[in-house]
A and B are shown apart, each in its own frame.
Chain A
Amino acid sequence: MHSILLFDAALVLEKSIFVVVLFIITLTVAAYATYGERKIAAFFQDRIGPNRAGPFGLLQPLADGVKFFTKEDFMPNAAERWLFILAPASFMFVACMTSAVIPWGTELTLFGKPVSLQLTDLNIGVLYILGFTSLGVYGIMIGGWASNNKYSLYGSIRASAQMISYELAMGLALIAVVMMSGTLSLKEMAIQQAGLNWNIWYQPLGFLIFFICALAECNRAPFDMAECETELIGGYHTEYSSMKLGMFLFAEYINMFVSCAVIATVYFGGYNFPLIDPGWLGGLMGPIVMFAKTFFFIFVFMWIRWTLPRFRYDQLMRLGWKSLIPLAIINMLLTGAGVLLFDK
């Protein structure tokens, strides 16, 4: 009892600084993901992309931010004022929360003191991530509904239906990994995948399912049903303008960053890479490897977006319910059998 009340001031300070640093990194990565998205899109289409603001257009995210802030903040007359404001805020909040349990590396030695490169090693890290990603749809739902616009409402209905269908398959794919590693903590998972002992070798099908579901969870093309530029003229954020719209778009990029980090952690060994000790450079090698993997998956996300056309709504549902969920269940059964047989 006494030890709970007596908190470690140094630990609190360390964690607070870590939160701020992580927050800044997340926002920077998200900002530059918008730049990367435009640049990569341009490259896939044989164009150059933004190159006016700063060298190679590197200041483009800044210019976009200034633009968003200085635009008129319009609110429809019939909108539900309070919820209309709440929606982007909650979407952003939820997006930022997810990165708390991701292990970015082993340990960093600062001022002679080992600093863990994970905000908190929750023993139910996987559940935490699943929980928060499913909360993410609330921002879209509330935003679409509060706008009092039919397109927006359609967007949010689609978003929620899509979330429900794909979260099931996603969870089932993750269960197989959990069965194999016997833990729900992401840190444990990362430790178990030392070297090249990555989960992807044991769970290729699970990875495929998880990856497709992650695309759907992030509302990325080809699953960007909620936005649907051509059908729903922006979907849930049709009525949004100025930085509220900016928040929505920004949060989507944060979601993408976190999803890619989760994929890297769960299936691709997190901060582990063969022949590279994550403790090198005073522990900095771990985060470098981790970020390299994350950025690779962000690139793949964008690559897919600029390759595949959007699914039709019924195709999306059919894929979710009739293909991915049965496949995930089969994958789960196979993993169970494998665990029983080989006692891994």
Chain B
Amino acid sequence: MQPLTTRSKLVVDKRMNFWERIYLPAIFKGMWITLKHFFRKKNTLSYPDEVRPFAPVWRGWHVLKRDEQGRERCTACGLCAVACPAEAITMTAEEREKGEEGLYREEKYAAVYEINMLRCIFCGLCEEACPKEAIFLTDRIVPSDYVRQNFIFGKELLVEGTTPEKRIDVTKRQKHIQEKITK
């Protein structure tokens, strides 16, 4: 049988000799070990100030993308809601009126689009289901809250902004999904 660890020691029940019995050498040895730790590099990461780099495949807070002209890509087809194993997504579709062409890309759009972040398991199946490349999971962490109601994220929290600095970059994620689907 292979040993579980290379550092195991055989326990022997022998009488301790004088130096072992006065414990002092052992104590100094222990203190030397702790002193080495004293000067060692600290493992702590001061989280809100420093953030550990996210993996490119990290799945966090969803975003509903807009196209280059700032129109919402989502057409409320409902495929994401169907694909969702946790049934976290609900939406209400509406027809695009005249004059709203600058707001919505297709003739149909989601008037209400809600994701329950407490139900969501961040599996990313909605991304794969989406035919319009409208929904993506990003590397943002869903913030904590005291009220359950606040975890139902509506469009105001999901749709990205129109200005360039408010756009959310999902190219890495997009590439990953492309690879996954073509495989």
Closest A residue, CB atoms, query B32: A307
C-alpha gap A45/B34 in the complex (Å): 8
Within 8 A of B (CB), among A20-61: 40, 43-48, 51
Instruction: Tell me if B42 and A308 are in contact (CB < 8 A).
Output: no
In the assembled complex, how far is the CB of residue B94 from the closest CB belonging to chain A, in whole angstroms? 48
Instruction: Tell me if B31 and A46 are in contact (CB < 8 A).
Output: no
Interface: A68 (CB within 8 A): no
Partner pick for B42 among A40, A46, A303, CB 8 A cutoff: A46
Interface: B181 (CB within 8 A): no
Instruction: Tell me if A308 and B30 are in contact (CB < 8 A).
Output: yes
Interface: A304 (CB within 8 A): yes
Within 8 A of A (CB), among B30-47: 30-31, 33-35, 37-38, 40-44, 46
Interface: A18 (CB within 8 A): no
Within 8 A of A (CB), among B59-91: none
In the assembled complex, how far is the CB of residue A214 from the closest CB belonging to chain B, in whole angstroms? 16
Instruction: Tell me if B44 and A48 are in contact (CB < 8 A).
Output: yes
Instruction: Tell me if B30 and A43 are in contact (CB < 8 A).
Output: no
Which residues does chain B contribute within 8 Å of A47, judged by CB atoms?
A: 42-44
Interface: B27 (CB within 8 A): yes
Which residues does chain A contribute within 8 Å of B40, judged by CB atoms?
A: 46
Closest A residue, CB atoms, query B27: A308
Instruction: Tell me if A307 and B44 are in contact (CB < 8 A).
Output: no
C-alpha gap A43/B35 in the complex (Å): 9
Partner pick for A306 among B34, B42, B43, CB 8 A cutoff: B34
Which residues does chain B contribute within 8 Å of A51, judged by CB atoms?
A: 46
Which residues does chain B contribute within 8 Å of A308, judged by CB atoms?
A: 27, 30
Which residues does chain A contribute within 8 Å of B27, judged by CB atoms?
A: 307-308
Which residues does chain B contribute within 8 Å of A43, judged by CB atoms?
A: 37-38, 42
Instruction: Tell me if A44 and B42 are in contact (CB < 8 A).
Output: no
Instruction: Tell me if B43 and A44 are in contact (CB < 8 A).
Output: no
Which residues does chain B contribute within 8 Å of A306, judged by CB atoms?
A: 34
In the assembled complex, how far is the CB of residue A104 from the closest CB belonging to chain B, in whole angstroms? 28
Partner pick for A46 among B33, B37, B46, CB 8 A cutoff: B37
C-alpha gap A306/B42 in the complex (Å): 16
Contact-size category for A: 10 to 19
Which residues does chain A contribute within 8 Å of B34, judged by CB atoms?
A: 44, 303, 306-307
Contact with A along B15-33 (1 / 0, CB 8 A): 0000000000001001101
Closest A residue, CB atoms, query B26: A308
Highest count of chain B CB atoms <10 Å: which of A40, A43, A307, A308:
A307
Instruction: Tell me if A44 and B46 are in contact (CB < 8 A).
Output: no
Instruction: Tell me if B43 and A303 are in contact (CB < 8 A).
Output: no
Which residues does chain B contribute within 8 Å of A45, judged by CB atoms?
A: 37
Instruction: Tell me if B43 and A304 are in contact (CB < 8 A).
Output: no
Instruction: Tell me if A307 and B31 are in contact (CB < 8 A).
Output: yes
Within 8 A of B (CB), among A259-318: 303-304, 306-308
In the assembled complex, how far is the CB of residue B47 from the closest CB belonging to chain A, in whole angstroms? 12
In the assembled complex, how far is the CB of residue A110 from the closest CB belonging to chain B, in whole angstroms? 39
Closest B residue, CB atoms, query A299: B38
Which residues does chain A contribute within 8 Å of B35, judged by CB atoms?
A: 303
Which residues does chain B contribute within 8 Å of A40, judged by CB atoms?
A: 38
Which residues does chain A contribute within 8 Å of B31, judged by CB atoms?
A: 303-304, 307
Instruction: Tell me if A44 and B37 are in contact (CB < 8 A).
Output: yes
Closest A residue, CB atoms, query B36: A44
Which residues does chain A contribute within 8 Å of B41, judged by CB atoms?
A: 46
In the assembled complex, how far is the CB of residue B32 from the closest CB belonging to chain A, in whole angstroms? 9
C-alpha gap A46/B42 in the complex (Å): 5
C-alpha gap A84/B29 in the complex (Å): 43
Closest B residue, CB atoms, query A40: B38
C-alpha gap A232/B61 in the complex (Å): 46
In the assembled complex, how far is the CB of residue A304 from the closest CB belonging to chain B, in whole angstroms? 7
Instruction: Tell me if A307 and B30 are in contact (CB < 8 A).
Output: yes
Which residues does chain B contribute within 8 Å of A304, judged by CB atoms?
A: 31
C-alpha gap A115/B30 in the complex (Å): 44
Contact with B along A64-103 (1 / 0, CB 8 A): 0000000000000000000000000000000000000000
C-alpha gap A45/B40 in the complex (Å): 9
What are some 13 contacts across the A-B interface (CB < 8 A)? A43-B37, A43-B38, A43-B42, A44-B34, A46-B37, A46-B40, A46-B41, A47-B43, A48-B44, A303-B31, A307-B31, A307-B34, A308-B30
Residues of B within 8 A of A (CB): 27, 30-31, 33-35, 37-38, 40-44, 46
Q: Can you name 19 extra interface pairs (CB under 8 A) apart from A46-B41, A47-B44, A48-B44? A: A40-B38, A43-B37, A43-B38, A43-B42, A44-B34, A44-B38, A45-B37, A46-B37, A46-B42, A46-B43, A47-B43, A303-B35, A306-B34, A307-B27, A307-B30, A307-B31, A307-B33, A308-B27, A308-B30
The 8 closest A-B pairs by CB, nearest first: A48-B44, A307-B34, A44-B34, A43-B38, A307-B30, A307-B31, A46-B43, A47-B44
